[in-house]
Each structure stands twice: as C-alpha cells, then as structure tokens.
C-alpha cells in the first residue's frame, strides 16, 4: 500500500508538538537556580538538583512500560496517557510553597512527570520508524530533536513567569503544566501506526553487503538474548555519561574556566541547548549516509575534547568545545533509535528501544555524580574533564566490535 506522503509528514509535526512539551524538562536549571535564591525555599545546590535527578531516573521505567503497551495497543492511547501524567506532575509541583515541601516537587516534577515523560517519549520514535523505513536516521533525529529543543522554547518563558513572583518560583509550574497538557494532547491525538501492508514507493532495503537487512523482526526477549542489545545499550550509556557530565557543570565551568559572568554563563547554557537539539537531527541524518557505528565512533571521539576543556580559558574556545560536546550528546539520542531499528527491526521497536533507554537513566545519574566527585570542592576541572575525555575515547572500541545480528544480515551474492 502506498503511503499518504503528506500525511506521514504531518505525523512528524504532531510528534514534534508532543516532544516540545515533554522536552521542557531540560529547562530545570532555570527552576533550580530560582529555588536556591528564593528565601521561602533557600535550597542547597544538591537539594535543588534532586527533582531533575529523579526525573531522569524515572524516564526508563516509563519508557519501558509505555514501549511494551504501545506495541500492543498502538501509539495514540499511550502518548495521550503519558502527556496527561507528565502535565499532572508539573501542576502538582506548583502547590509546593516552601523548602519544607521539597518532597512535593520531587514527587510531582520528579516521580510523576518523569514517569509520564518516559511513557510518552518512546511513542513517536517507534511510530515514525514504521512510517519512514526509508529515512530512519533523519526521522528519528527529528523526533528526538523536538525533545532537545523543548528547553530552548521553555527556558525564557519559565524565566519570565518566575520573575513575576520570584519568591514563589513554583507558581510558574501551573501555567506551564496546562500548556504542556494542551500541546501533548493535540499532538498525540493524531498518532497512528501505518496500515497493514504499508510500503514506500521506490524504497527497497539493501539485499547484499555488510549493512544489508532482511525482514527478521526480533521480539524483546529475542533481542535481549543477543550481545548486540547490550553493546548498543553500553554505547548509549557511555555517550550520555560523557555529555551530561558537562551539561551538569556547564554554567559553573563557563564561569570558573573561561571567566564568564553568572549572567553570561546562563546565556551560554541556553544557547548550548540549541546544539543539543540540533545534534539529534544532524547526527541522525548523517548516520543514514556514513553508517550508524561510524557515526557513534565519531560522536564518542569528538567528546574526547573534554581533555581540552579545562584549558580553554578563552571564552570563544570554551563555547566551541562545549558546543561540540552538546552536539554529540544529542546525536546519541537521535541516532540510537534508528540503530535499534536496523539491528532488531521496527515491529517491536517500542519495547526494545524503551528498555534500551536504561542507558539514559544510568548515564544521566552516573555522569553528574562522577564529574562532581572528581572536580570536588577544590574545583579540579582538569582531573574531572580529563577522566571524562578518556572514558569517551576508550568507549570508541565498542563501535568497532558491534555488528548486525546474523539474522538481520544477508549473504552477499
């Protein structure tokens, strides 16, 4: 059956709308700073980071459950439920009025919203993989690129809302939560899987060569019995660990290493979010041409510039190096869904890639903890970023030993 060409691109727009709303989670640094400054809260740096840390930890649980349900019930209902849960959690956090109610922010923004985020996040990725077998890298890059750009859109709005009542920064969660609800419901309401027998005119999968694929679709259980699933998850985990180590320390590093003012550092962090989002599209599209593993080798290798970061006292050089790392961090999320589709098929992509996102949670917790411990109170950025750079470079080895499963390869004629 030929695809409704215009309609399938309309689904990309709907997916972006959902991803913009849940991607706002990366704007947390705006709230964390406000919660430290507001006298009613007066949170420490560690306390102010807890809601975001819990959110990242909950994403895997939501994506695992949502991915399994989506493979059975379809994308629309899962995305709608995920969007509602996410928005409800944000609204719940708005009822916290003092530092004594930090638990309420953690419950709402962290546990509930984090679960809803993961529940919805996997849906457009798995859905679009089925609609665009001819453009897997580009299309999944666009899908998760919307998530990366969510913070770019939300940060200035959140700052404006907070400035209206700086002593109660949590009041900004109420209008934002309502906006997230509307955006996610509108986007998710258009979601659907392609009809049975769907094909793309003019597209024929490769039938020979190393990258050739046959129509074997792995179930989640079958995928977990292959070494490739664990290798891909390890690559994703290490790519996240390297990138998020800088993200967790970006503002402080910009001030201490390159001499930015606090205001300038905040602006730099906002601009770097654009590279996070853009990297998801750029690297995913590039992987369609250079191959998935060469793309990941390049991303990990480029993140080795962490070795240079502690010595980038020039403001412009610091920004360039940080932008490269942000591009590669985002690129991992843009490229891995298409990689999973190549390796295991797209029929059960929701469950397989949803489980693979455990790498996001592990790396998202490990990276910030590791870099914080290495930098320490004496601000030893050289030790911290040198270690992260070495980890990224050594991780490249995995990309050279990870091959397509035998059942997804064809024999050359």
Domain boundaries, the chain: 1-204, 216-413
Q: How far apart are CA 340 and CA 346, in angstroms?
A: 8
**pLDDT at residue 228 above 80?**
yes
The reply to whether domains 1-204 and 216-413 share a CATH topology is yes
Backbone angles phi, psi at 219, to 5 degrees: -80, 170
Q: Which of 24-33, 126-135, 263-272, 282-291 holds the top average pLDDT?
A: 282-291
Residue 406's nearest CA partner among 136, 277, 213 is: 213
As a CATH number, domain 216-413 is 1.20.1250.20
pLDDT, one tens digit per residue, over 65-78 is: 888 888 788 899 99
- d(C-alpha 169, C-alpha 176), whole Å: 12
Mean per-residue pLDDT, 381-407: 92
- Average pLDDT of 89-108? 93
End-to-end Cα distance, the chain = 29
Which of 267-271, 281-285, 382-386, 408-412 has the largest mean confidence? 382-386
CATH 3.30.1360.120 given to domain 1-204: no
User: In angstroms, rounded to a whole number, what is the distance separating the alpha carbons of residues 201 and 7?
Assistant: 15
Whose tokens are 């601009």? That residue is 271
CA–CA distance, 247 with 266 (Å, rounded to integer): 12
Give the whole-angstrom CA distance, residue 404 versus residue 412: 14
Phi, psi at 228, each rounded to 5°: -60, -35
Q: Which of 273-277, 311-315, 375-379 has the lowest mean pLDDT?
A: 375-379
Average pLDDT, the chain: 85
Q: Answer yes or no: is pLDDT of 212 > 60.
A: no
pLDDT band at 158 (very low <50, low <70, confident <90, very high): confident
Greater model confidence, 366 or 263: 366
pLDDT for the residue 307: 93
Instruction: Look at 147 and 323; give whichever has higher pLDDT.
Output: 323
Say what angle helices 75-93 and 173-188 make with each other, to 10 degrees.
180
Q: Is the pTM of this model over 0.75?
A: yes
String of DSSP letters for 187-214? HHTT--PPPTT---TT-----SSTT---
CA distance 346 to 215: 10
Query: What local confidence, expressed as pLDDT, does residue 210 receive?
Result: 41
Exposed e or buried b per residue across 249-280, where buried means at least 16 C-beta atoms within 10 angstroms of its C-beta: bbbbbbbebbebeeeebbebbbebbbbbbbbb
Do the beta carbons of residue 14 and residue 187 sit within 8 Å? yes
* Token pair in block for residue 318: 């610091």
With cut-offs at 50, 70 and 90, classify the pLDDT of residue 3. very low
Distance CA 276, CA 324 (A): 9
The model's pLDDT over 326-375, given as tens digits with 9 standing for 90+, comes to: 999 999 988 998 899 889 987 787 788 888 989 988 998 888 888 888 88
The answer to which of 114-118, 373-377, 402-406 has the lowest mean pLDDT is: 373-377
Give the total residue count for the chain. Answer: 413
């Amino acid at each position: 059956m030929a695809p409704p060409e215009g309609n399938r691109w309309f689904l990309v727009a709907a997916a972006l709308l959902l991803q913009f709303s849940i991607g706002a989670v990366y704007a947390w640094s705006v709230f964390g700073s406000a919660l430290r400054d507001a006298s009613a809260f007066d949170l420490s740096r560690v306390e102010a980071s807890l809601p975001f840390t819990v959110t990242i930890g909950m994403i895997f649980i939501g994506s695992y459950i949502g991915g399994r349900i989506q493979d059975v019930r379809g994308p629309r209902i899962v995305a709608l439920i995920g969007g509602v849960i996410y928005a409800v959690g944000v609204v719940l956090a708005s009822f916290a009025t003092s530092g004594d109610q930090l638990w309420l922010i953690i419950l709402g923004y962290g546990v509930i919203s984090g679960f809803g985020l993961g529940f919805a996040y996997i849906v457009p990725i798995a859905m679009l993989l089925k609609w665009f077998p001819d453009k897997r890298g580009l299309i999944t890059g666009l899908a998760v690129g919307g998530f990366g750009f969510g913070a770019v859109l939300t940060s200035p709005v959140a700052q404006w809302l907070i400035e209206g009542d700086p002593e109660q920064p949590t009041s900004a969660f109420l209008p934002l939560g309502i906006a997230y609800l509307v955006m996610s419901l509108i986007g998710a309401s258009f979601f659907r899987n392609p009809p049975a027998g769907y094909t793309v005119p003019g597209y024929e999968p490769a039938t020979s060569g190393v990258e050739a694929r046959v129509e074997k679709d792995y179930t989640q259980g079958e995928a977990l019995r292959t070494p490739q699933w664990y290798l891909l998850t390890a690559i994703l985990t290490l790519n996240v660990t390297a990138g998020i180590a800088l993200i967790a320390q970006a503002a402080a590093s910009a001030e201490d290493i390159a001499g930015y003012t606090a205001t300038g550092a905040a602006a730099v962090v906002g601009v770097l979010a654009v590279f996070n989002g853009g990297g998801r599209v750029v690297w995913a599209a590039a992987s369609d041409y250079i191959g998935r593993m060469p793309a990941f080798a390049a991303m990990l290798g480029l993140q080795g510039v962490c070795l240079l970061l502690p010595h980038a006292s020039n403001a412009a050089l610091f920004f360039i190096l940080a932008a490269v790392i942000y591009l590669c961090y985002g690129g991992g999320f843009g490229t891995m869904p298409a990689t999973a589709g190549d390796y295991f098929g797209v029929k059960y992509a929701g469950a397989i890639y949803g489980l693979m996102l455990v790498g996001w949670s592990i790396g998202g917790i490990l990276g910030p903890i590791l870099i914080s411990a290495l930098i320490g109170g004496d601000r030893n950025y050289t030790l911290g970023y040198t270690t992260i750079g070495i980890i990224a470079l050594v991780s490249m080895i995995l990309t050279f030993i990870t091959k397509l499963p035998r059942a997804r390869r064809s024999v050359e004629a």
